């Protein structure tokens, strides 16, 4: 089987090591010879994490997408375009496609699945959610037997690393973010991670598969961790709580409630032990009950392992049964259930004219004031009422953070 690789960065190099350099046990189990025929990159002269014969590299995508001898495309480049056009072209040309690119999958899942079905080829994306955690395949399998009722998880290693370091080492957000960037855990532009968009894409993909609905990412209520400060983590520690960026969705009678928010968990919660760059995904099926999957959310070997697991499904001819038609999602939004929330407002960051009104309102909610920092738990408030309250405060104040208390 001949393979075309689009991208030779972290994930591409990991896939190359497995297929061409015998890392792992793949070739022991398949008689068929597997070769990476050609690799698309932007810059032919760049130093690569793996040694690759020069004649395999190209900057011309057509040399891969239009080569009839290539059966499978591994699309392991980031971004929306040209990744989307390349995937479509490959599917239309009758090639199986495997990708780890969650951005392009979240935005085009339904389209890619339809094109794959038309050409009778596979479109697989295990590496796009949860990095090394095998979650897509079990979810696709279990949804054919179970009614999937809910999904929740910690789906971003960078933010979990930042939160863990802040909690365990009494560090400030900016310090940990700079450290994560220096170590290569966080991108130079960290917005996709710290503003929650990476997690938003992942929960949209999982929920689309689980509920058979094409869930647009912009329907996922999303808040990140950009505004968390040491005074918040100090408070959580004093209450024996930990903070996590959690993604969640649930389906009932066709309506999907879906959100991404910072959440507080106590030591009895299954997410409490998920530290640093580890991820967890749980789903609840009406027969299976809750299933938890824990592991590395990213990294060269774990993600390449997921990508090559998809390749094995193609070699084993196991992909047809997983085809999922996605209906147009008509009733999608954030939850309205009542919850307990933590809220912190730095009153000195609020407009002067509003400080007296806000101080009174925050005290009425049960928050305590320590040197103009108002913080505490607000109990049993509807999620929509909390969003309205916070949007009022955010209009007037520059420094605020809030988090949902997660139970169970
Ligand atoms: N890294 C992880 O742990 C991880 C985990 C799960 C999912 N993912 C996803 O997997 C994808 C790849 O991630 P990565 O970390 O391997 O990325 P990366 O290290 O930045 O590598 C991207 C590769 O794609 C090539 N490329 C990008 N745009 C191109 C274009 N327009 N034309 C030709 N080649 C192009 C680059 O070529 P040059 O090298 O010549 O610039 C590079 O080799 C992303 O969507 C990412 O979100 C990554």
Instruction: Say which CATH number the domain at 176 has.
Output: 3.30.360.10
CB of 157 closer than 6 A to ligand 1? no
Instruction: State the closest ligand 1 atom to the C-alpha of 13, by its place in the atom list counted from 1.
Output: 16
For residue 173, whether the previous peptide bond is cis, meaning omega lies within 30 degrees of 0, is no
Tokens of 159: 């933010």
Q: Could you say which of 124, 158, 176 is where a domain stops?
A: 124
Lowest mean pLDDT among 5-9, 31-35, 357-361: 31-35
Which of 124, 149, 179 lies at the terminal end of a domain, its last residue?
Answer: 124
**Residue 130 within a domain:** no
pLDDT of residue 321: 65
What 3-state class would DSSP assign to 226? coil
Cβ proximity of 253 and 204 under 8 Å: no
CA dihedral for 117, 119, 122, 123, sign (positive or negative): negative
DSSP 238-280: HTT-EEEEEEEEEEETTEEEEEEEEEEE-TTSTTTT--TTEEE
Q: Give the Cα-Cα-Cα angle 193, 194, 197 (nearest 5 degrees).
A: 55
| pLDDT beyond 80 at 333 | yes
Same domain, 262 and 397: no
User: Is the CB of residue 279 below 6 angstroms from any atom belonging to ligand 1?
Assistant: no
Do 22 and 108 sit in the same domain of this protein?
A: yes
Residue nearest to atom 19 of ligand 1 (CA): 9
At 198, list the tokens: 């990476």
CATH number of residue 375's parent domain: 3.30.70.240
pTM of the model: 0.96
pLDDT at 298: 87
Are 93 and 170 members of one domain? no
Catalytic annotation on 202? yes
* Cα–Cα distance, 191 to 203 (Å, whole number): 17
Structure tokens at 392: 């009022």
Q: Residue 43: CB within 6 Å of ligand 1?
A: yes
pLDDT above 70 coverage of the chain, percent: 100
Task: Give the pLDDT confidence score for residue 186 in this predicted structure.
Answer: 84
Q: How far is the CA of 77 from the centre of ligand 1 (A)?
A: 3
The CATH number of whichever domain residue 46 belongs to comes to 3.40.50.720
Question: Within this chain, do residues 250 and 143 fall inside the same structural domain, yes or no?
Answer: yes
pLDDT value at 408 more than 80: no
Question: β-pairing, 148-154 with 242-252?
Answer: antiparallel
Same domain, 252 and 147: yes
What is the total residue count of the chain? Answer: 408
Query: Which tens digits make up the pLDDT trace of 53-87?
Result: 999 999 999 999 999 999 999 999 999 999 999 99
User: Are residues 141 and 287 both part of a single domain?
Assistant: yes
236 in the same domain as 111? no
Using the atom order of ligand 1, give the atom closest to the CA of residue 299: 3
Any idea which residue has 């106590």 for tokens? 266
Ligand 1, atom 30: closest residue by C-alpha: 42
Mean pLDDT of 311-338: 87
- Residue 94 lies inside a defined structural domain of this protein: yes
Residue in 41, 90, 199 to alter for ligand 1 test, most ligand atoms within 8 A of Cβ: 41
**What is the 7 CA–ligand 1 centroid distance (Å)?**
6
Q: How far is CA 372 from the centre of its chain?
A: 36
Take residue 58 and report the two structure tokens written for it: 């190209």
Assess if residue 308 is contained within a domain.
no
Q: Which pLDDT value is given to residue 322? A: 67
Residue whose CA is at the smallest distance from ligand 1 atom 27: 77
The reply to whether 193 falls in a domain is yes
Is the same domain home to 364 and 228?
Answer: no
| Choice between 385 and 408, residue whose per-residue pLDDT is larger | 385
CB-based contacts of 259: which residues, under 8 Å, 6+ apart? 220, 221, 222, 247, 248, 249, 334, 335
Do residues 140 and 252 both lie within one domain? yes
Contact 149, 286 (CB under 8 A): yes
Number of compact structural domains in the chain: 3
Residue 306 in domain: no
Residues 168 and 118 in one domain: no
What is the residue range of 279's domain?
136-296+325-333
Sign (positive or negative) of CA dihedral 77, 79, 82, 85: positive
Question: What would the two tokens of residue 137 be?
Answer: 């395949």
Q: Is residue 86 part of a domain?
A: yes
Residue 182: Cβ within 10 Å count: 9
Of 124, 155, 189, the last residue of a domain is 124
Residues 290 and 272 in one domain: yes
Note the pLDDT tens digit of each residue in 209-220: 999 999 999 999
C-beta 9 within 6 A of ligand 1: yes
In a domain, 317, yes or no: no
pLDDT band at 324 (very low <50, low <70, confident <90, very high): confident
Torsion (CA) 264, 270, 275, 280 in degrees, nearest 10:
-110
Residues 238-293 have pLDDT tens digits of 999 999 999 999 999 999 999 999 999 999 999 999 999 999 999 999 999 999 99
Q: Which numbered atom of ligand 1 lies nearest the CA of 14?
A: 16
Domain assignment present for 309: no
Calculate the CA dihedral of residues 80, 85, 90, 321 and round it to 10 degrees: 60
**Residue 320 predicted with pLDDT over 90:** no
99 lines ligand 1 (CB under 6 A): no
The 10s digit of each residue's pLDDT in 365-395 is 999 999 999 999 999 999 999 999 999 999 9
Provide the pLDDT for residue 235. 97
* pLDDT higher than 90, residue 319: no
Same domain? 272 vs 150: yes
Nearest Cα residue to 16 out of 53, 47, 42, 43:
53
> Poorest-confidence range of 11-20, 31-40, 327-336?
327-336
Q: Are strands 2-6 and 72-75 parallel, antiparallel or unpaired?
A: parallel
Nearest CA to ligand 1 atom 23: 7
What is the C-alpha separation between 385 and 197, in angstroms, rounded?
24
């Amino acid at each position: 089987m001949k393979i075309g690789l689009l991208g030779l960065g972290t994930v591409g190099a990991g896939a190359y090591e497995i297929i061409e350099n015998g890392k792992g046990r793949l070739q022991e189990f398949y008689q068929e010879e597997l070769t990476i025929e050609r690799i698309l990159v932007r810059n032919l002269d760049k130093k690569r994490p793996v040694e690759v014969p020069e004649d395999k590299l190209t900057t011309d995508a057509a040399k891969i997408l239009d080569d009839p001898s290539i059966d499978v495309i591994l699309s392991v480049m980031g971004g929306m375009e040209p990744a989307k056009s390349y995937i479509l072209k490959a599917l239309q040309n009758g090639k199986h496609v495997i990708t780890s690119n969650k951005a392009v999958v979240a935005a085009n899942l339904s389209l890619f699945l339809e094109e794959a079905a038309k050409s009778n080829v596979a479109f697989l994306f295990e590496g796009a959610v949860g990095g090394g955690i095998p979650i897509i395949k079990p979810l696709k399998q279990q949804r054919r037997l179970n009614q999937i009722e809910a999904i929740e998880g910690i789906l971003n290693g960078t933010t979990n690393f930042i939160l863990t370091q802040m909690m365990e080492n009494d560090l400030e957000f900016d310090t940990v973010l700079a450290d994560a960037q220096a170590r290569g855990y966080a991108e130079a532009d960290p917005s996709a991670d710290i503003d929650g968009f990476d997690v938003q894409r992942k929960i949209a993909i999982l929920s689309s598969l689980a509920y058979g609905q094409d869930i647009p990412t912009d329907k996922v209520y999303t808040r990140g961790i950009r505004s968390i400060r040491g005074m918040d983590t100090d408070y959580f520690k004093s209450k024996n709580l930990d903070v996590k960026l959690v993604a969640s969705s649930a389906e009932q009678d066709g309506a999907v409630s879906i959100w991404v928010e910072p959440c507080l968990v106590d030591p009895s919660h299954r997410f409490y032990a998920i530290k640093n760059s580890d991820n967890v995904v749980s789903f609840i099926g009406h027969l299976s009950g809750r299933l938890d999957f824990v592991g590395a959310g990213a990294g060269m070997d774990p993600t390449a392992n997921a990508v090559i697991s998809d390749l094995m499904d193609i070699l084993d001819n196991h992909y047809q049964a997983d085809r999922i038609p996605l209906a147009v999602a008509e009733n999608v939004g954030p939850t309205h259930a009542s919850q307990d929330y933590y809220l912190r407002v730095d009153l000195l960051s609020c407009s002067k004219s509003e400080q007296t009104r806000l101080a009174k309102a925050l005290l009425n909610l049960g928050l305590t004031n320590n040197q103009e920092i108002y913080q505490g738990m607000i109990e049993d408030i509807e999620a929509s009422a909390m969003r309205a309250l916070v949007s009022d405060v955010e209009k007037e104040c520059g420094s605020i953070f809030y988090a949902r208390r997660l139970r169970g």
